[in-house]
Structure 1
Amino acid sequence: MEFKMTDKGFETSVEYGTLQISGDAEYGYRPFKLLVSSVAVCSGGVLRKVLERMRMPYDDISVQAKVTRVEDEANRVSDIHLHFVIKGVELSQEKVEKAIKVTRKNCSMVQSVKDSINITESFEIVA
């Protein structure tokens, strides 16, 4: 990937168009939001695959991310809590809990940041 400077940030060309990145949300995606999005969406995608392999039918998955930042340390991301809302009718709490653990181990983004950002997960099953 190559990132080119613009008047208000940077941009890169990706398969789906141009990605604008800026510290100012008025001019592009903020870097910390891209980081959190990568962790959340990677986890959601891996969870989807794990549930399918476990033959656990579901109707929908959404991921809510709560972020904690440390102002005194360059406003770094210190914690990301992922809350999975899984819609389905015959989902077992125990099996979903196991699926979340497998997801954590297999998500490349979580594994990439686990030693610098505290990642936690929770879930709920809705009908």
Structure 2
Amino acid sequence: MKFYMNEHGFQTNVGFGELKVSSQEEYGFRPYQLLVSSVAVCSGGWLRSILKKMRIPFDDITISTTVGRNPEIANRIESIDLLFTISGKDISPKKVEKALAITRKNCAMIQSVQDSIKITESFELNYPHLANA
């Protein structure tokens, strides 16, 4: 990737389109947002794939993140908590725990930062069909 300076930050062109990065949110993605997004979406993609391979039926996955930053050291990201909300019916919590362990081992983003950023994963199961009963 090659980044080019613009008036408010930097930009690059990738296969999907133009990516603008800036310290000012109104002009592009902030660097920390991209880092957190990379960790969350890498994990989510692996979890999705593993759940399918394990033949665990699910309808949706939502990922919520909580980021711990240290304002005394350049606002450094020190922790990322990932909460996966998995929707479906008859989902085994034990199988999801196993899938998350496999996810962690295979996610390149987690493997890249785990020695410097504390990454935690948790999940909750959402059974929408029970809400309508």
The CA distance in 2 between the partners of 1:53 and 1:27, in whole Å, is 40
Could you tell me how far 1:26 is from its partner in structure 2? Answer: 1.2
TM-score w.r.t. length of structure 1: 0.98
Could you tell me how far 1:74 is from its partner in structure 2? Answer: 0.6
Cα deviation per residue 1:8-67 (whole Å; 9 max; x = unaligned)? 100000112110100010111000000000000000000001101111010000100110
Gaps of 5+ in 1: none
Aligned to 1:35: 35
The CA distance in 2 between the partners of 1:77 and 1:12, in whole Å, is 24
Amino acid at match of 2:32: F
The answer to whether residue 44 in structure 2 is matched with residue 44 in structure 1 is yes
Gaps of 5+ in 2: 128-133
The CA distance in 2 between the partners of 1:59 and 1:26, in whole Å, is 34
Aligned-CA RMSD value: 0.6
Amino acid at match of 1:71: P
Aligned to 1:4: 4
> What secondary structure, in the 3-state scheme, does the structure 1 residue paired with 2:119 have?
strand
How many residue pairs get aligned? The number is: 127
Aligned to 2:86: 86
Aligned to 2:15: 15
The CA distance in 1 between the partners of 2:125 and 2:56, in whole Å, is 12
> What secondary structure, in the 3-state scheme, does the structure 2 residue paired with 1:111 have?
helix
Map 1:92-103 → 2, pairs under 5 A: 92-103=92-103
TM-score w.r.t. length of structure 2: 0.94
Q: Percent identity?
A: 55
Segments ≥4 residues shifted beyond 6 Å: none
Aligned to 1:67: 67
